Amino acid sequence: MLRLRTFLVPLATSTAIMIAAGCGSAPTAPTSPEPPANATGAVIAGLVVGQDGSPSSGLTVSVAGRDRSAVVADDGTFQIADVPAGSVQLEFRSQSVNASAALSPVASRQFVEVRVQVSPTAAVILEEVRSEKVVLCHRSEDGNYHRIDVSVHAEPAHREHGDGAPGEQHRDDPNKMFNENCELVGPSVDLEKLTNDVDADEAPGPSITVGSTVTWKYVVTNNGTVQLSGIQVSDDQSVVVTCPQTSLAPGASMTCTGTGVVTKEGQYRNVGKAVADWSANGRSGKVEDTDPSHYFGISPLEFEKLTNGEDADHPTGPRILVGDPVLWEYIVTNIGTVNLTGISVSDDQGVAVTCGGAVLTPGASMTCTANGTAVAGQYRNLGTVTANWANGGVSGSVTAEDPSHYLGVTEEEGPTVTLCHRTGAGFYVLINVGIAAEPAHLQHGDGKPGEAVPGQPTGRFTQTCGVQ
């Protein structure tokens, strides 16, 4: 009797340790083979040892006369599920073993643990422990649950891991419970928020011009197993969200919407939230989910300043003979989605800037101009454009800047050439540029006084760059 009591703990313990090692790196909960659905038979779990007492492997264990079998693992263990009640003959087979051993009758829902010594022609059940079989829902590494049969000895370790029995509530989510197939059933809601149809959970999200309308979609899905009602969707930035309905059947979805206007440049973030009521099996409660979204506001103004036809953002810029004329061009483009009004272009050096209008529709451009006389040395001035916008009762203003440079030189510092420069507005002005810059200007469409106008078969330049 003492020998059997000594066996009880090591057998259950060694089996649990073995199974834990097979399930993944420690510490991991024990596991066991998945029994057939709704299995009511007994479970036979065993340890096979050789004549020297060390674990044996490479055998197949089967229940004689029944379609029940298992392969002995490398550590000598096996488990056979759903064994019908009654007498059991265990057969052990391999290339070198042909042996069998008889068990006393097993009962339904019984968990039988055995230690069997096997030789080539004989099998002896050294020790045996019987307990109640417990059906649990075991969490796999992929996060899903499946049915397993364990003994009452192994049950505490499984429950510590987070397993539960069919019909019980989930330990970490009391709103959900395990059904007979170990599927988690109960209420659940999922929210997916989109910004201009982009799933922008992470910054920066889509780039949207100031003044433009932004549309948010809130896709609400009932990913649970019970009806959801009283669904409400809100936004932490006070966006008004409209939904087509307030209830969803299991598996159904709906798309709610909200709109706004981009009012400033820079990073924007808002968070949507869905809350729903549920009631089932005499219980009720609420479920919720949140999802963030982002966009980055950019200016609707594209602004480019040229000095004598060159984009001279950095020194030195074009070399211009002191006393020669300087032409600045300020090209303003509306890259946004709403009209820009009250457009004003200025220069920090007091240059008088002339524009052909004060309104730009989306995608339109205009070129403003200013004139001056080159002075000696490095010169820099900064152009600034401001504009107003309005959209759906919301309005604001935007600003853009662009610098330009030139280097005023004397005649001794290098030869120059006089050209008729074509402005962005389509007319020509007289400018002097260094000889090195002449090819680029001619390629741009400039010409020389007295010569034919590029692209015009009959037009010629006057000495002051008029066209006749």
Please write the tens of the pLDDT for every residue from 137-149: 998 888 889 988 8
Q: Looking at the domain that runs over 301-414, which CATH code has it been given?
A: 2.60.40.10
pLDDT in tens, 44-84: 999 999 999 999 999 999 999 999 999 999 999 999 999 99
Q: What is the pTM of this model?
A: 0.63
Q: Closest Cα to residue 299, out of 384, 183, 420?
A: 384
User: Judging by DSSP bridges, how do beta strands 394-409 and 319-321 pair with one another?
Assistant: parallel
C-alpha dihedral, 139 to 144 to 150 to 154, nearest 10°: 0
Q: Where are the domains of the chain?
A: 2-181, 190-298, 301-414
Q: Does domain 190-298 have CATH number 2.60.40.10?
A: yes
C-alpha dihedral, 144 to 147 to 152 to 154, nearest 10°: -40
Confidence of residue 35 (pLDDT cuts 50, 70, 90): low
Give the CB-side neighbour count of residue 314, counting CA atoms within 13 A: 0
pLDDT in tens, 303-338: 999 999 999 999 999 999 999 999 999 999 999 999
Q: In angstroms, rounded to a whole number, what is the distance separating the alpha carbons of residues 192 and 221? A: 8
Token reading at 417: 């050439």
Give the CB-side neighbour count of residue 370, counting CA atoms within 13 A: 23
Comparing 178-192, 257-271, 419-433, the range with the smallest average pLDDT is 419-433
Sign, CA torsion 313/316/320/323: positive
CATH class, domain 2-181, is: mainly beta
**Residue for token pair 């036979």:** 44
Is the CB of residue 124 less than 8 Å from the CB of residue 116? yes
Question: How confident is the prediction for the chain on average, in pLDDT?
Answer: 89
Res. 209: pLDDT tops 70: yes
Q: In angstroms, rounded to a whole number, what is the distance separating the alpha carbons of residues 465 and 448? A: 8
Q: In angstroms, rounded to a whole number, what is the distance separating the alpha carbons of residues 49 and 438? A: 96
CB atoms within 10 A of CB 444: 13
Q: Do domains 2-181 and 301-414 have the same CATH topology?
A: yes
Looking at residue 445, its pLDDT comes to 87
- Most distant pair of Cα atoms in the chain: their distance: 125
All residues at 6 or more sequence positions from 367 whose CB lies less than 8 Å from its CB, including other chains? 329, 330, 331, 332, 356, 423, 424, 425
Q: Which residues pair with 88 in a beta bridge?
A: 103
